[in-house]
Amino acid sequence: MHDQHDHGHGMAEDLPLLRAMLARRRALKWFAGAGTAALVAGCGGGESEASSSGVTTVSGATPTPTATPTPTATPTPTPTTTGACIVDPTETAGPYPGDGTNAASGSTSNVLTVSGVVRSDIRSSFVSSTTVAGGVKVVLTLTLVDVNATCAPLAGYAIYLWHCDRQGRYSLYTAAAESYLRGVQVTDANGQVTFTTVFPACYDGRWPHMHFEVFSSLSNALSGRYSILTSQLAMPAAACLAVYADTTIYPSSAGLFSRVSLTADGVFGDNTAAQIAQQTPALTGSPAAGYTATALIGIAR
C-alpha cells in the first residue's frame, strides 16, 4: 500500500490554494509594516522626554512607564571656587589614635570610653592628670556637611579630634601620663563643633596636622567603634612659619618644618588640590593673640 498524502493532482485544484496563500501574505506584510511604524512612533522623542522629566534612560533598556517617575540620586557636587563641598579623603588614623584600635606597650588605649571625653576645651588632661598643654591657642570650628544634599549641614554627628602637643608628643602614647589634646563634640543644627586647643608641633617626616574621626552618633563614638570617616587636617604653611618662629614654645618645629612639604608628605602628598584646600583650615589671628580656625568636612550620606 502507498501512504495517502493530502494534496491535489491538478492545476485546477491548486489555484484556489495559491490565491488564499497570496492574500494571507499581503495581510501579514501590512500588519508587519503597521507594527514597525507604531514602534518607531512610540520610541521617537523618548530620550528628550525622559531627560526633561529627570528620568535617566539606559541605552538598550526598555523603561517601564510609571505615573510618577522616581527621582534619580543627586550627583556629588563638583568643587568650585565658590566654595562647593567635596567628600574628604580617608586618611590613616596614625599610630596614636587612642580610640581602641591599636595597642601601645602591650595595652590598648581607648579614651573614647572614658567619662569626660565629651568636651570643647581639650587642652587639659582629664584621665589621671590635670596637666594643661602649652602652645599657641587655636579655637577650631568644624562644619560637617552632606555633599549629596548640596552641602547641607549634618546635626547630631560626633567628631573626635586629636593631635600632638607643642613638642610633637601624643598623649596616652609618647606622653603616656597625659590625656590632653583629645576630645569629642556633637554637631549642632548648623553641623558645627568647636574645639579650643593649641597649634600642633611639626615632628620628623610629617606635615603639621590634626586627626579626626566622624561618627553618626554620640553613642557610636563613645563605644569606640563605627567611625564613618577618619581623616586629617593640614595646618596652613604661613601659620606654621609664624608659630614655629618662637623656638622657646616650639623648640624643634622650625628646623623640622623646613625639611617637609605637602607634596612629599606620606598622607597629604597624593591628594588633589581640591582635597588639600578643604583639608586646610582657614586661620585668622597671630601667635601672640591666638588663632580662630574654620574647616569644612564633607561626607556622602
Instruction: Tell me the per-residue pLDDT of 66-109, one tens digit each, with 9 for 90 and over.
Output: 333 333 333 333 333 335 899 999 999 999 999 999 877 777 88
Which of helix, strand or coil describes residue 238?
Answer: helix
pLDDT of residue 77: 36
Q: What angle do CA 53, 55, 59 make, to 5 degrees?
A: 130
Q: Which residues pair with 285 in a beta bridge?
A: 291
- Cβ–Cβ under 8 Å, residues 232 and 210: yes
Cell numbers linked to 48 = 528628550
pLDDT of residue 56: 23
- Cβ–Cβ under 8 Å, residues 148 and 73: yes
Q: Which residues of the chain have pLDDT under 50?
A: 1-82
pLDDT of residue 83: 54
Terminal Cα distance for the chain, rounded: 84
Q: What angle do CA 277, 96, 177 make, to 5 degrees?
A: 130
pLDDT of residue 150: 96
pTM score over 0.85? no
- Cβ–Cβ under 8 Å, residues 204 and 198: no
* Chain centroid to CA 130: 36
Q: What angle do CA 148, 152, 297 make, to 5 degrees?
A: 80
Residue 241: closest CA among 91, 121, 136: 136
